[in-house]
Amino acid sequence: MPELPEVEVVRRGLAAHVTGARITDVETHGARVLRRHEPGAADFAARLRGRTIREVARRGKYLWLDVGDEAVVVHLGMSGQMLLARPGDPDPRHLHARFGVTTGEGDPIEVHFVDQRTFGGLALTAVDQDGTPEPVAHIARDPFDPLFDPLAVARRITKRPSAIKRQLLDQTIVSGIGNIYADEALWRAKLHGERPGDRLTKPAVVRLLGHAHDVMSDALGEGGTSFDSLYVNVNGESGYFERSLNAYGRGGQPCRRCDTPMRREHFMNRSSFSCPRCQPRPRRG
DNA sequence: AATTAGCCCTGATTGC
DNA sequence: TGCAATCAGGGCTAAT
């Protein structure tokens, strides 16, 4: 988490407020937030001051501010937030970066990067001819991308013996899907996450990818999934999709399709939730 | 080449 | 009450 819908909520909020804005001040706290920005904090701030934010873009869970021939790449990690603030507002806890910007209307506002668990980070990098920043070049297109090709992805998935959930979470195969929406898509598709990719048909995988798209689209419509105050939009508000989850976090509760108690299993060092009846484990062999 | 374990990190929760 | 163990887990790196 935040997964594609939550990152898209943030992207939209930022786009509405800072597109066309000029960056006037840049301040970072600590080394960790810029650990992927090799040249360091002074370089980051100096190169950004005076630049104009042309666009706020996203692929999968990566977000970036297009400032011309370069981009500020933002990854929220587990707990990162991009919050709008007014100059003079008190610093929130876990503030790692502060951008002072002046909007097209001449309004001075601040953008705060706040991150409790510090798995997130920022970097200023070059972009390729398509405008994709270097750190995002290896990330596959996500199901919201106009150039996303479900059949090509299904062809790739059905060639590999790896478990389907593992492949759904592999950001170089399809991006934007994390543990929550993987479980939700598998529940909708009535597939167990440990089904080997090469034991599924291409149409079944195309259907699964369609479910992944649909559940993330539904979540976006509710402002994303918020379990607690860590997952919020640029105004600090929570989303409401948690109440609509059918699988994730519902261990022991009745399946919303067949009433069978949902199971919780450990897979890839995390929890997986599924229905024992709708989503039978694959047979051995 | 593909896969997997380990690491990074804080705070809420659980257990003794 | 107090402290330690556990859990949440995305993405990168090193090892197999």
Identify the CATH number of the domain in which residue A193 sits: 1.10.8.50
Is there a domain that residue A269 lies in?
yes
Is there a domain that residue A96 lies in?
yes
The distance (Å) linking the CA of A221 with the C1' of B12 is 29
Tens digits of residue pLDDT in A205-227:
999 999 999 999 999 998 787 66
What pLDDT shows up at residue A231?
67
Composition of chain A by helix, strand, coil, percent to 5 = 30, 25, 45
Q: Domains in chain A: how many in total?
A: 2
Task: Give residue A228's pLDDT band: very low, low, confident or very high (50, 70, 90).
Answer: low
Tens digits of residue pLDDT in A29-63:
999 999 999 899 999 999 999 999 999 999 999 99
Tens digits of residue pLDDT in A115-147:
998 999 999 999 999 999 999 999 999 999 999
Range of the domain at A61: 4-136
Q: Kindly report the average pLDDT of chain A as a whole number.
A: 92
The answer to whether the C-beta of A64 is closer than 7 A to strand C is no
Residue A145: count other Cβ atoms within 10 Å of its Cβ. 15
Does A276 have pLDDT greater than 80?
yes
Query: Residues by CB within 7 Å of nucleic chain B, which ones?
Result: A 32, 78, 93-94, 116-119, 160-162, 166, 269
Q: Are A180 and A101 found together in one domain?
A: no
A270 annotated active-site: yes
Q: Are A116 and A179 found together in one domain?
A: no
Q: Are A97 and A159 found together in one domain?
A: no
- C-alpha A150/C-alpha A202 separation (Å) is 9
Q: Which of A86, A113, A136 is the last residue of a domain?
A: A136
Q: Are A13 and A90 found together in one domain?
A: yes
Q: Are A211 and A114 found together in one domain?
A: no
Mean pLDDT of A237-264: 89
- C-alpha A65/C-alpha A74 separation (Å) is 8
Q: Which of A136, A161, A195 is the last residue of a domain?
A: A136
- Protein-covered nucleotides of chain C (CB closer than 7 Å) are 7-12
Which residues are within 8 A (CB) of A39 and not within 5 positions of it... i.e. 6 or more apart? none
The distance (Å) linking the CA of A268 with the C1' of B4 is 9
Task: Give residue A259's pLDDT band: very low, low, confident or very high (50, 70, 90).
Answer: very high
Is there a domain that residue A72 lies in?
yes
Which residues are within 8 A (CB) of A14 and not within 5 positions of it... i.e. 6 or more apart? A56, A63, A65, A82, A111, A234
- C-alpha A207/C-alpha A201 separation (Å) is 10
Q: Where are the alpha helices (DSSP H) in chain A?
A: 4-18, 41-48, 150-157, 164-169, 179-189, 202-221
Q: Are A82 and A105 found together in one domain?
A: yes
Q: Which of A136, A161, A192 is the last residue of a domain?
A: A136
Is there a domain that residue A285 lies in?
no
Mean pLDDT of A162-190: 94
The percentage of chain A sitting over the pLDDT mark of 90, rounded to a whole number, equals 83
Q: Are A116 and A157 found together in one domain?
A: no
What pLDDT shows up at residue A283?
81
- C-alpha A85/C-alpha A92 separation (Å) is 10
CATH value at residue A78? 3.20.190.10
- C-alpha A246/C-alpha A218 separation (Å) is 12
